[in-house]
């Protein structure tokens, strides 16, 4: 039986008509007593709100430990929503739906090709599994959006499945190359 949270607005009574599923984010934020996680918000701003709530300014070992655990939660959440098998057309179809590709591609190769021609923020994929995710016109637009929103997906993680590894792109390499010159 899945863990379920009572809707916030009915928490005092302990009952409600609707339930919020217990996600990897819910489990992560539940580790911090007194912090009221709002699943309606993007996970990234919620993490930064947690840092302010806990008083973790600048470098702090507790913040770094929490950041690593949060990155694990991000990756696990992606895996739970979209799967881990890069050879599963259903996983690719889930992404196609969220990025607005219609009709759905008939083959695995077509699905991969269509998704990989899109520039999408992976945090947005996790935040909006039932909605629509914006597709950017170029890697530069995606880079700018990612920097401004601080929606960086962990590049390397022990929990990353093949599908996630297939989707991850280097969006800052040109910046690092220009700085190094």
Q: Which residues in the chain belong to E strands, given as ranges? A: 4-6, 19-21
- Model confidence pLDDT, tens digit, residues 155-181: 888 788 899 988 988 777 654 433 333
Q: How far apart are CA 80 and CA 22, in angstroms?
A: 12
Contact 166, 82 (CB under 8 A): no
Give me the mean pLDDT over the 83-105 stretch.
96
Average pLDDT of the chain is 86
If one compares 22 and 50, the residue with the highest pLDDT of the two is 50
- When pLDDT is cut at 50, 70 and 90, the band that residue 18 belongs to is low
pLDDT tens digits for range 45-89 = 999 999 999 999 888 999 999 999 999 999 999 999 999 999 999
Task: Give residue 155's pLDDT.
Answer: 84
What is the Cα–Cα distance from 78 to 61, expressed in whole angstroms?
26
* More confidently predicted of 102 and 5: 102
Mean pLDDT value across residues 8-14: 59
CA distance 55 to 126: 27
Rg, C-alpha atoms of the chain: 18
Query: H or E segment at 124?
Result: helix 122-127
């Amino acid at each position: 039986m899945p863990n379920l949270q009572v809707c916030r607005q009915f928490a005092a009574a302990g009952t409600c008509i609707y339930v919020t599923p217990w996600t990897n984010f819910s489990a992560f934020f539940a580790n911090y007593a007194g912090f009221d996680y709002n699943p309606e918000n993007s996970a990234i701003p919620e993490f930064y709100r947690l840092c302010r709530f806990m008083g973790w300014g600048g470098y702090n070992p507790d913040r770094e430990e929490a950041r690593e655990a949060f990155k694990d939660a991000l990756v696990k959440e992606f895996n739970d929503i979209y799967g881990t098998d890069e050879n599963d057309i259903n996983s690719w179809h889930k992404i196609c739906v969220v990025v607005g590709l219609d009709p759905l591609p008939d083959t695995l190769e077509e699905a991969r090709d269509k998704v990989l021609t899109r520039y999408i923020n992976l945090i947005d994929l996790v935040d909006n599994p039932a909605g629509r995710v914006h597709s950017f016109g170029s890697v530069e637009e995606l880079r700018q959006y990612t920097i401004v929103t601080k929606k960086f997906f962990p590049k390397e993680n022990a929990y990353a499945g093949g599908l996630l590894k297939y989707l991850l792109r280097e969006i800052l390499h040109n910046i690092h190359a220009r700085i190094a010159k």
